Chain A
Amino acid sequence: MRLSVVKVYLSVLFVLMFGGIVLGGASAMAQSAPAATGTSDAARIAALEKQVADNATAIATAQTAGDNGWMLVSAALVLMMSGPGLALFYGGLVRKKNILGTMMQTFAMMGVVTVLWALVTYSLAFGTGNAFIGGLHNAFLHGVGLMPDKDYAATIPLQTFMVYQLMFAIITPALITGAFAERMKFSAMLVFMVLWALIVYSPMAHMVWGKGGLLNAALGGRFPCLDFAGGTVVHVTSGVSALVTALYLGKRLGYPKVPMPPHSMVLSFIGACLLWVGWFGFNAGSALSAGTLATSAFVATHFAAAAAAISWSVAEWIRQGKPSALGAISGAVTGLVAITPASGFVTPMSALWIGLLAGAFCYFMVVKVKAAFGYDDSLDAFGVHGAGGTLGAVLTGIFANSAINPILGAGKATGLLEGNGHQLLNQLVGIGVAWSLSIVGTLMILFVVDKTIGLRVSEEDEREGLDLSQHGEEGYDWAH
């Protein structure tokens, strides 16, 4: 009882004090009002102008908060695609003596490519340069601060853009590791990847996404190639380089006579599902803002993945009598790969078509073409990323729609189905550049590394497995 009396007393006191402040303020305003009528119109206009400017700043700050929030989450999602997503996906597909070696190859990219990005590769990819490669103005992240770069993304700090693009630079070389799984020296892999980031990834990213790049569709490229989130930059380069590496390195010991089935479909399954979720950051994040284009890319991404999971499964069901889990998740990944360049340009219905075509096409590439040629692309990095990326880049030129993204200018047709057949040629130029650069660059790097420190582990080490021979550990210690 006494407590509540005290509460009421305090409340009344509070209301009196607060009311006093408000009333006092009001009376102060009343006193200053007559003085204002005496000032000139110029002063009033100046005050209004200041108000408008303040409003504009407040609006810009609010938009940056929204866009930057989504972009930071997207950057984190794309990193999650590498570790643990891709590491689990690939790790489950190898034999159990190689799981740590395989996962470490992806994890190493998270370290090495990051440091390299800070030192030089960001500048080579996104710094101002010529049509083929950026300059060194932004080396050591010089000039990469918290203010936006209007050309790249007007509403987010340049550092957000930089770190978001870094996550792409990490996963791209990690994708290649699927082709040379179970047989490459860890040291050779590191040197290969550093050179690859410099010689293949940086120029390709600059040509497609950098200011003044040869293929840049938004910033005045000679051959505007549509690549929303990296069909050519990420998937064609990694997939084609993967094929070249698999051919150069040769088959694993005993392939194809010795059975080499995946040792844990469960790990691969979890990895593939993490890839699917992470891909929303990859594609919808490539809108570089949190607006309607991000939604459109998000939806297209999801629809293509689902359609491709179904089409691969159906193809497998018909040909082999059973729809496997590995088939379903591989199909989903091919859909995600193929929609990557198209995600910010196509309608949901087009995304379904792209997914359907990608699942069936990549099934054919992985099951038929690989068997016909006999190369040991161990985890199908080419069959999924090279083939799916190339198909996606072509289909982008067909399905791109100016109603979704008027990138070539307001009212101008974008894709073939809209009447712009010329775009298909530009897509083919982009694909041709990506294939050529990947083949030539990767061959050069392989040759240099092979002649200096050697690419392959010894036969003894390969039999023992990469876990023990390269890292001195075992993934599974059943004895304890």
Chain B
Amino acid sequence: MQKIEAVIQPSKLDAVKDALVEIGVEGMTILEARGHGRQKGHTEFYRGREYSVDLLPKVKLELVVKDEMVEQAVHAIITAARTGKIGDGKIFVSKIDEAIRIRNDERGEIAL
């Protein structure tokens, strides 16, 4: 089992979600987030005063999938979320030790 965390543009959420459902991903968690990478936000002007807004609105997806599905899922996210411009986001993948379904105590991949 591995966890995929993807920080993407809010406007790409629907496309990414659809792409994941299409390849058979059954569950995900979505968080509204703010953050920045190397592009460091933008500037705003109010009555001539300049404000730099360095935390931009983003969406963070979290999903845990079987090992053999990881590459497929990552590919689906990249394909759906990419615009080619700065600010498209990042994907992080990490190992998961255990998954437990609260309803009936099932453990391991069957709980996903």
Task: For chain B, residues 40 to 60, give those with C-beta under 8 angstroms from any C-beta of chain A.
Answer: 44-49, 51-52
- Tell me which residues across on chain B come within 8 A of A371, comparing CB atoms: 48-49
- Tell me which residues across on chain A come within 8 A of B45, comparing CB atoms: 316, 320, 322, 324
A472 within 8 A of B: no
The contact string, 1 if C-beta is below 8 Å from chain B, for chain A 255-299, is 010010110000000000000000000000000000000000000
Let me know if A327 and B47 touch, CB within 8 A. Answer: yes
* Interface of A (DSSP majority class): helix
- Tell me which residues across on chain B come within 8 A of A319, comparing CB atoms: 48
A380 within 8 A of B: yes
Identify the closest chain B residue to A326 (Cβ): B46
Let me know if B51 and A367 touch, CB within 8 A. Answer: no
Q: In the complex the two chains form, what is the Cα distance from A322 to B45 in whole Å?
A: 9
Let me know if A367 and B52 touch, CB within 8 A. Answer: no
The 8 Å CB contact of B48, one of A259, A261, A262, A366, is A366
Task: For chain A, residues 180 to 237, give those with C-beta under 8 angstroms from any C-beta of chain B.
Answer: none
Interface residues of B toward A: which range? under 10
Identify the closest chain B residue to A315 (Cβ): B48
- Tell me which residues across on chain A come within 8 A of B46, comparing CB atoms: 261-262, 324, 326
The 8 Å CB contact of B51, one of A261, A322, A324, is A261
The contact string, 1 if C-beta is below 8 Å from chain B, for chain A 325-361, is 0110010000000000000000000000000000000
Return B109 CB to nearest CB of chain A, in Å.
Answer: 36
Q: In the complex the two chains form, what is the Cα distance from A380 to B46 in whole Å?
A: 12
Q: In the complex the two chains form, what is the Cα distance from A428 to B51 in whole Å?
A: 39
Identify the closest chain B residue to A380 (Cβ): B47
Identify the closest chain A residue to B48 (Cβ): A367
- Tell me which residues across on chain B come within 8 A of A326, comparing CB atoms: 46-47
Q: In the complex the two chains form, what is the Cα distance from A330 to B49 in whole Å?
A: 14
Interface centre among B44, B45, B47, B48, by most A CB within 10 Å?
B47
- Tell me which residues across on chain B come within 8 A of A366, comparing CB atoms: 47-48
Return A309 CB to nearest CB of chain B, in Å.
Answer: 14
Q: In the complex the two chains form, what is the Cα distance from A261 to B43 in whole Å?
A: 11
Return B13 CB to nearest CB of chain A, in Å.
Answer: 20
Task: For chain B, residues 16 to 48, give those with C-beta under 8 angstroms from any C-beta of chain A.
Answer: 44-48
Q: In the complex the two chains form, what is the Cα distance from A322 to B44 in whole Å?
A: 10
Interface centre among A261, A262, A366, A368, by most B CB within 10 Å?
A261
Q: In the complex the two chains form, what is the Cα distance from A324 to B51 in whole Å?
A: 14
Q: In the complex the two chains form, what is the Cα distance from A363 to B46 in whole Å?
A: 12
- Tell me which residues across on chain B come within 8 A of A380, comparing CB atoms: 47
- Tell me which residues across on chain A come within 8 A of B49, comparing CB atoms: 256, 261, 371
Q: In the complex the two chains form, what is the Cα distance from A371 to B50 in whole Å?
A: 11
Let me know if A320 and B48 touch, CB within 8 A. Answer: yes
Identify the closest chain A residue to B52 (Cβ): A259
Interface centre among B46, B48, B51, by most A CB within 10 Å?
B48
- Tell me which residues across on chain B come within 8 A of A320, comparing CB atoms: 45, 48
Q: In the complex the two chains form, what is the Cα distance from A327 to B47 in whole Å?
A: 6
- Tell me which residues across on chain A come within 8 A of B52, comparing CB atoms: 259
Q: In the complex the two chains form, what is the Cα distance from A320 to B47 in whole Å?
A: 10
Identify the closest chain B residue to A367 (Cβ): B48
The 8 Å CB contact of A330, one of B44, B47, B51, is B47
Q: In the complex the two chains form, what is the Cα distance from A326 to B51 in whole Å?
A: 14
Q: In the complex the two chains form, what is the Cα distance from A326 to B59 in whole Å?
A: 29
Return B59 CB to nearest CB of chain A, in Å.
Answer: 18
- Tell me which residues across on chain A come within 8 A of B47, comparing CB atoms: 326-327, 330, 366-367, 380
Identify the closest chain B residue to A383 (Cβ): B47
Return B31 CB to nearest CB of chain A, in Å.
Answer: 15
Q: In the complex the two chains form, what is the Cα distance from A108 to B47 in whole Å?
A: 27
Return A94 CB to nearest CB of chain B, in Å.
Answer: 12
- Tell me which residues across on chain B come within 8 A of A367, comparing CB atoms: 47-48
Task: For chain B, residues 72 to 93, give those with C-beta under 8 angstroms from any C-beta of chain A.
Answer: none
- Tell me which residues across on chain A come within 8 A of B51, comparing CB atoms: 259, 261
Q: In the complex the two chains form, what is the Cα distance from A151 to B68 in whole Å?
A: 92
The interface of chain A, by Cβ under 8 A from chain B, is: 256, 259, 261-262, 316, 319-320, 322, 324, 326-327, 330, 363, 366-368, 371, 380
Q: Give 8 pairs: A residue, B residue, CB < 8 Å, sorted on A.
A: A259-B51, A261-B44, A261-B49, A319-B48, A320-B45, A324-B45, A366-B47, A367-B48
New contact pairs (19) apart from A259-B51, A262-B46, A330-B47, CB-CB < 8 Å: A256-B49, A259-B52, A261-B44, A261-B46, A261-B49, A261-B51, A316-B45, A316-B48, A320-B48, A322-B45, A324-B45, A324-B46, A326-B46, A366-B47, A367-B47, A367-B48, A368-B48, A371-B49, A380-B47
- 7 tightest Cβ-Cβ pairs between the two chains A and B: A367-B48, A259-B51, A261-B51, A261-B46, A366-B47, A320-B45, A326-B46
